[in-house]
Amino acid sequence: NSFTDSEKQGRRVEDFATEISEQLRQVTRLSSQSRQEPIRDELLRYVEDVRTRETGRASILGMSIAPYDNLNSAISGLRPGFYYALGGAPRRGKTNLMLRMATLVARNEKVPVLYYSFEQTKRVLLTRVLSQESLINPLVLLNGDIRTRAELVTRFNKGIKETSAYMDNFYLFEGDRQDTVEHIRSVAYSIMDSQHADRCAIFLDYLQK
Protein backbone atom coordinates (compact mmCIF):
# COMPACT_ATOMS: atom_id res chain seq x y z
CA ASN A 1 0.00 0.00 0.00
CA SER A 2 2.84 2.39 0.84
CA PHE A 3 4.52 1.71 -2.46
CA THR A 4 1.39 2.18 -4.55
CA ASP A 5 0.69 5.45 -2.77
CA SER A 6 4.29 6.57 -3.31
CA GLU A 7 4.20 5.51 -6.93
CA LYS A 8 1.58 8.11 -7.59
CA GLN A 9 4.18 10.65 -6.50
CA GLY A 10 6.79 9.31 -8.94
CA ARG A 11 8.61 6.72 -6.77
CA ARG A 12 10.56 4.19 -8.83
CA VAL A 13 10.01 0.42 -8.50
CA GLU A 14 13.80 -0.07 -8.22
CA ASP A 15 13.87 2.01 -5.05
CA PHE A 16 10.99 0.04 -3.59
CA ALA A 17 12.69 -3.29 -4.41
CA THR A 18 15.95 -2.17 -2.78
CA GLU A 19 14.17 -1.02 0.37
CA ILE A 20 12.04 -4.14 0.77
CA SER A 21 15.05 -6.42 0.14
CA GLU A 22 16.94 -4.76 2.99
CA GLN A 23 13.94 -5.17 5.28
CA LEU A 24 13.73 -8.87 4.40
CA ARG A 25 17.44 -9.29 5.15
CA GLN A 26 16.90 -7.71 8.56
CA VAL A 27 14.04 -10.10 9.25
CA THR A 28 16.28 -13.04 8.29
CA ARG A 29 19.09 -11.83 10.56
CA LEU A 30 16.74 -11.37 13.51
CA SER A 31 15.19 -14.77 12.91
CA SER A 32 18.56 -16.54 12.83
CA GLN A 33 19.75 -14.65 15.91
CA SER A 34 16.71 -15.83 17.85
CA ARG A 35 17.79 -19.43 17.18
CA GLN A 36 21.40 -18.85 18.18
CA GLU A 37 22.25 -18.71 21.84
CA PRO A 38 25.28 -19.75 23.89
CA ILE A 39 25.12 -23.00 25.83
CA ARG A 40 24.91 -21.08 29.11
CA ASP A 41 21.11 -20.80 29.05
CA GLU A 42 20.65 -24.39 27.91
CA LEU A 43 23.05 -25.59 30.60
CA LEU A 44 21.10 -23.75 33.29
CA ARG A 45 17.88 -25.31 32.02
CA TYR A 46 19.57 -28.70 32.10
CA VAL A 47 20.62 -28.25 35.72
CA GLU A 48 17.12 -27.10 36.66
CA ASP A 49 15.59 -30.11 34.92
CA VAL A 50 17.85 -32.52 36.81
CA ARG A 51 17.19 -30.74 40.12
CA THR A 52 13.40 -30.86 39.76
CA ARG A 53 13.10 -34.20 37.95
CA GLU A 54 10.68 -36.67 39.44
CA THR A 55 12.17 -39.79 40.98
CA GLY A 56 11.29 -43.15 39.50
CA ARG A 57 11.11 -41.69 36.03
CA ALA A 58 11.42 -44.09 33.09
CA SER A 59 15.01 -44.56 31.95
CA ILE A 60 14.08 -44.85 28.26
CA LEU A 61 13.60 -42.05 25.76
CA GLY A 62 10.74 -43.49 23.73
CA MET A 63 7.47 -45.37 24.16
CA SER A 64 7.71 -48.43 26.36
CA ILE A 65 7.35 -51.97 25.06
CA ALA A 66 7.68 -53.54 28.51
CA PRO A 67 7.79 -56.37 29.50
CA TYR A 68 10.33 -56.78 26.66
CA ASP A 69 12.81 -55.17 29.02
CA ASN A 70 16.04 -56.12 27.22
CA LEU A 71 14.77 -54.81 23.88
CA ASN A 72 13.26 -51.79 25.61
CA SER A 73 16.64 -50.93 27.10
CA ALA A 74 18.61 -51.71 23.94
CA ILE A 75 16.65 -49.30 21.72
CA SER A 76 15.45 -47.01 24.56
CA GLY A 77 11.83 -47.66 23.67
CA LEU A 78 10.14 -46.77 20.40
CA ARG A 79 11.38 -43.23 19.96
CA PRO A 80 9.32 -40.45 18.33
CA GLY A 81 10.40 -39.74 14.77
CA PHE A 82 12.29 -43.02 14.44
CA TYR A 83 11.59 -45.73 11.88
CA TYR A 84 12.08 -49.38 12.79
CA ALA A 85 12.13 -52.21 10.25
CA LEU A 86 11.50 -55.86 11.11
CA GLY A 87 12.61 -58.34 8.48
CA GLY A 88 12.74 -62.10 8.09
CA ALA A 89 11.64 -65.10 6.10
CA PRO A 90 7.92 -65.90 5.78
CA ARG A 91 6.12 -67.48 8.75
CA ARG A 92 8.76 -66.55 11.31
CA GLY A 93 6.45 -64.53 13.58
CA LYS A 94 7.00 -60.99 12.31
CA THR A 95 3.32 -60.09 12.43
CA ASN A 96 2.85 -61.66 15.86
CA LEU A 97 5.80 -59.68 17.23
CA MET A 98 4.57 -56.44 15.64
CA LEU A 99 1.07 -56.96 17.00
CA ARG A 100 2.49 -57.62 20.44
CA MET A 101 4.65 -54.50 20.40
CA ALA A 102 1.76 -52.41 19.07
CA THR A 103 -0.60 -53.53 21.83
CA LEU A 104 2.09 -52.95 24.46
CA VAL A 105 2.55 -49.36 23.31
CA ALA A 106 -1.21 -48.82 23.38
CA ARG A 107 -1.40 -50.29 26.88
CA ASN A 108 1.71 -48.70 28.39
CA GLU A 109 1.57 -45.26 26.83
CA LYS A 110 -2.20 -44.70 26.43
CA VAL A 111 -1.62 -43.16 22.99
CA PRO A 112 -3.27 -43.99 19.65
CA VAL A 113 -1.65 -46.92 17.84
CA LEU A 114 -2.53 -47.47 14.17
CA TYR A 115 -1.84 -50.92 12.75
CA TYR A 116 -2.11 -51.23 8.96
CA SER A 117 -2.04 -54.69 7.44
CA PHE A 118 -1.89 -55.21 3.67
CA GLU A 119 -2.24 -58.97 4.01
CA GLN A 120 -4.88 -59.84 6.59
CA THR A 121 -8.37 -58.78 7.62
CA LYS A 122 -9.21 -56.92 10.80
CA ARG A 123 -10.99 -60.01 12.15
CA VAL A 124 -7.93 -62.21 11.65
CA LEU A 125 -5.66 -59.61 13.25
CA LEU A 126 -7.99 -59.16 16.22
CA THR A 127 -8.11 -62.94 16.59
CA ARG A 128 -4.32 -63.03 16.77
CA VAL A 129 -4.35 -60.28 19.39
CA LEU A 130 -6.92 -62.17 21.47
CA SER A 131 -4.87 -65.33 21.03
CA GLN A 132 -1.84 -63.60 22.51
CA GLU A 133 -3.81 -62.30 25.46
CA SER A 134 -5.80 -65.49 26.15
CA LEU A 135 -3.26 -68.13 25.07
CA ILE A 136 -5.98 -69.80 23.00
CA ASN A 137 -5.10 -71.09 19.53
CA PRO A 138 -6.38 -68.68 16.84
CA LEU A 139 -8.20 -71.50 15.01
CA VAL A 140 -10.08 -72.34 18.20
CA LEU A 141 -11.00 -68.68 18.66
CA LEU A 142 -12.30 -68.49 15.11
CA ASN A 143 -14.22 -71.77 14.92
CA GLY A 144 -14.02 -73.69 18.19
CA ASP A 145 -16.71 -74.33 20.79
CA ILE A 146 -15.28 -72.34 23.66
CA ARG A 147 -18.35 -72.22 25.90
CA THR A 148 -18.35 -75.95 26.73
CA ARG A 149 -14.82 -76.02 28.14
CA ALA A 150 -14.32 -74.27 31.46
CA GLU A 151 -10.59 -73.77 30.93
CA LEU A 152 -11.17 -72.05 27.60
CA VAL A 153 -13.90 -69.86 29.08
CA THR A 154 -11.49 -68.70 31.78
CA ARG A 155 -8.77 -67.98 29.24
CA PHE A 156 -11.19 -66.24 26.89
CA ASN A 157 -12.48 -63.96 29.65
CA LYS A 158 -8.89 -63.16 30.63
CA GLY A 159 -8.08 -62.29 27.01
CA ILE A 160 -11.09 -59.99 26.75
CA LYS A 161 -10.12 -58.27 30.01
CA GLU A 162 -6.51 -57.76 28.92
CA THR A 163 -7.53 -56.46 25.48
CA SER A 164 -10.10 -54.08 26.94
CA ALA A 165 -7.26 -52.27 28.74
CA TYR A 166 -6.16 -50.74 25.43
CA MET A 167 -9.17 -51.24 23.13
CA ASP A 168 -9.84 -47.47 22.95
CA ASN A 169 -6.28 -46.73 21.79
CA PHE A 170 -5.69 -49.53 19.27
CA TYR A 171 -6.83 -49.23 15.64
CA LEU A 172 -6.71 -51.98 13.01
CA PHE A 173 -6.82 -51.10 9.30
CA GLU A 174 -7.09 -53.30 6.24
CA GLY A 175 -4.65 -51.48 3.99
CA ASP A 176 -5.23 -50.95 0.28
CA ARG A 177 -3.84 -48.87 -2.58
CA GLN A 178 -5.58 -45.75 -1.27
CA ASP A 179 -3.52 -45.84 1.92
CA THR A 180 -0.70 -43.62 0.75
CA VAL A 181 1.71 -41.95 3.14
CA GLU A 182 -0.33 -38.75 2.93
CA HIS A 183 -3.60 -40.56 3.66
CA ILE A 184 -2.16 -42.48 6.61
CA ARG A 185 -0.75 -39.23 7.96
CA SER A 186 -4.11 -37.49 7.72
CA VAL A 187 -5.86 -40.42 9.47
CA ALA A 188 -3.24 -40.36 12.23
CA TYR A 189 -3.66 -36.63 12.82
CA SER A 190 -7.43 -37.00 12.86
CA ILE A 191 -7.29 -39.75 15.49
CA MET A 192 -4.75 -37.83 17.55
CA ASP A 193 -7.00 -34.79 17.46
CA SER A 194 -10.06 -36.77 18.53
CA GLN A 195 -8.13 -38.26 21.46
CA HIS A 196 -6.33 -35.02 22.35
CA ALA A 197 -3.01 -36.83 21.94
CA ASP A 198 0.30 -35.24 20.96
CA ARG A 199 1.86 -38.42 19.57
CA CYS A 200 0.99 -41.82 18.16
CA ALA A 201 2.61 -44.98 16.80
CA ILE A 202 2.05 -46.39 13.31
CA PHE A 203 2.75 -49.99 12.30
CA LEU A 204 2.84 -51.04 8.63
CA ASP A 205 2.61 -54.72 7.87
CA TYR A 206 3.68 -55.52 4.86
CA LEU A 207 6.16 -52.92 3.70
CA GLN A 208 6.64 -54.22 0.15
CA LYS A 209 3.09 -53.16 -0.66
CB atoms within 10 A of CB 149: 13
Per-residue model confidence (pLDDT) at position 28: 77
State pLDDT tens for residues 24-39: 888 877 776 666 667 7
Per-residue model confidence (pLDDT) at position 45: 84
Mean residue pLDDT of the chain comes to: 88
Q: Which is more confident, 22 or 55? A: 22
pTM above 0.85, yes or no: no
Task: Say if CB 116 and CB 179 are below 8 A apart.
Answer: yes
What sign has the CA pseudo-torsion 119, 122, 128, 132?
Answer: positive
Average pLDDT over every residue of 182-192: 94
